[in-house]
Structures are given as structure tokens and as C-alpha cells.
């Protein structure tokens, strides 16, 4: 089974900051990685698929990079609506899993 280690678990930042979240896979998943954003009481929303492809309608301040076992999600300039929890999700093989989540908080 593929284990994902996501860091940090909590991130405090200010509007306008550039932030990066990292996920490390226990084995290579090539580029089969997605990033989801979840706000309290809501279902997750996909931001990035195939490690670096931006889902339609997602603002360009979100970007993803990486391949193999190391992946990052970057938000170039935080907006108030970006404060949420983010999950990485490998989907190369079963059983699927998710990273533990990163809660992005307002500093």
C-alpha cells in the first residue's frame, strides 16, 4: 500500500503570502497525484490532477509540481478564500489513500 506523508500539518500564513505544502509517497506514483481543498462542512474540491495540471476553473495562483515520490502544492499569493484544509491523493494503485491534511490558518 502507498503511504503519503504530508507536511506541515498546520500552516499559519497571511494574505498575500506564498505557501508550499509537501507530500512524500512511500513508493513511486509517477505523476498520479491530485490535490484537494476542503472547507469546513463542505466536500473536497479538486485543484490539481496529474501532479501539475490545473483543474478547470481553479485560479492560477495554485500550482503543483513533482513526480515519483516528492510533490508540492504552491499557492503563490494567498487570498482570504484559500484558508482551508488541503489533501494530497495518490491514485496510481489500490488501495487509494490520502495525505493526512494541511490546515492553512490565518496568521
Partner 1 sequence: QVQLVQSGAEVKKPGASVKVSCKTSGYTFTGYYIHWVRQAPGQGLEWMGWINPNNDATKYVQKFQGRVTITRDTSVSTAYMELSSLRPDDTAVYYCAKTGRWAVYDSWGQGTLVTVSS
41: left (phi over 0), alpha (psi -120 to 50) or beta: left
* Residue from 34, 51, 73, 104 in contact with partner 1 (CB under 8 A): 34
Contacts of 21 (CB under 8 A, 6+ apart): 6, 7, 8, 11, 35, 72, 73, 74, 86, 88, 102, 104
Q: How far is the CB of 13 from partner 1 (least distance, A)?
A: 21
* Burial tier of 54 (Cβ tally within 10 Å: 0-12, 13-18, 19+): middle
Q: Does 86 bind partner 1 (CB under 8 A)?
A: no
Nearer to partner 1, 17 or 83 (CB): 83
Q: How far is the CB of 88 from partner 1 (least distance, A)?
A: 10
* Residue from 10, 30, 53, 93 in contact with partner 1 (CB under 8 A): 53
What's the CA gap between 51 and 43, in Å, rounded?
21
Nearer to partner 1, 16 or 41 (CB): 41
Q: How far is the CB of 27 from partner 1 (least distance, A)?
A: 17
Q: Does 101 bind partner 1 (CB under 8 A)?
A: yes
Amino acid at each position: 500500500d502507498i503511504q503519503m506523508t504530508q507536511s506541515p500539518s498546520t500552516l499559519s500564513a497571511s494574505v498575500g503570502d506564498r505557501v508550499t505544502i509537501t507530500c512524500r509517497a512511500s513508493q513511486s506514483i509517477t505523476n498520479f497525484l491530485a490535490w484537494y481543498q476542503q472547507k469546513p462542512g463542505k466536500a473536497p474540491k479538486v485543484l490539481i490532477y496529474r501532479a501539475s495540471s490545473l483543474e478547470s476553473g481553479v485560479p492560477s495562483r495554485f500550482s503543483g509540481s513533482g513526480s515519483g515520490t516528492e510533490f508540492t502544492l504552491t499557492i503563490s499569493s494567498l487570498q482570504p478564500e484559500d484558508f482551508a484544509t488541503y489533501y494530497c491523493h495518490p491514485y496510481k494503485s489500490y488501495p487509494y489513500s490520502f495525505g493526512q491534511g494541511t490546515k492553512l490558518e490565518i496568521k
